[in-house]
Chain A
């Protein structure tokens, strides 16, 4: 090669080409999206998050959750993400406009978390600390239509009947509590009295129960209390789980006076000795608040939700849309896997 000029120009040129092509032009194309709202300007999605959600995002980044969990739902004609109940529609760039950093992820050693918040039993069940930060607007999609939800919700998964006591000590179970994970026996539901530490929930596990297999005595799946137990002792919930335990996010302490309302409902070898309790640290509460806030179930104009009419000009939308996330939410007992 003769002379330096062509070499330098070429080196800069090829790089500039790639830089402009793959980062600058996309920024121009999809780098300035704004939230969507309906005609009246209400029901805005997505909304910026703050407080514990943001702190939880830091905890999520710090502990490298992204190396095992994705947060993206692929379209139903490409992959079976939606069939796995990881979402009701594919993820779009608009879902992430307030995420910093964005955790799309590149590995699924664990489940996709894009809609983990939408899978929580029902927003009212969230424990006080996490519930405070659990973003209402998105959860509203689920709670708005309890009737439809209960109609579509499948047979019970018994963990629902387990005590939500630690989770919501001073809020008596709202009428909608059993909805996402309806229980056959009201008596069992009644068992979940505030503050009541009813030991082990009826372990009437139906044989073909969906994942997780061993949920006896645990809070409702994907509820905040469940997340805490899962983070503290993943294998107490699912024997096959490959997730590391995040015990450093929890504090084991001697019960002073009364058992803390936040204490984890642990059983078996993970349970603390008599007179001790395990309580979440602030970081643990934040990361659970973050997980509870992950929710892409809100419909968007430019993408089709499964099980719902296209939102564009979709008159029958409210009921159908309300139902679909809830169906996905309740641990999907209706959909027999395996």
Chain B
């Protein structure tokens, strides 16, 4: 699968949807972890006002996305 991804070939998984779901989740987890580390690094190195603007905007995005993703949860939990 990894080789197929690297060379731009189609996924050969029998369940491509599940592969895609896992990839999206992993990508988000990785991106958020990298963001957190980088934010602390920048803050430790004497941030510019522009850095703080970027941080606040991304945090606003994370907060609003949490809100959007939380809304359908009650229905999903009830269905389970």
Q: Do A and B bind each other?
A: no
Binding site for A on B (CB under 8 A): none
Binding site for B on A (CB under 8 A): none
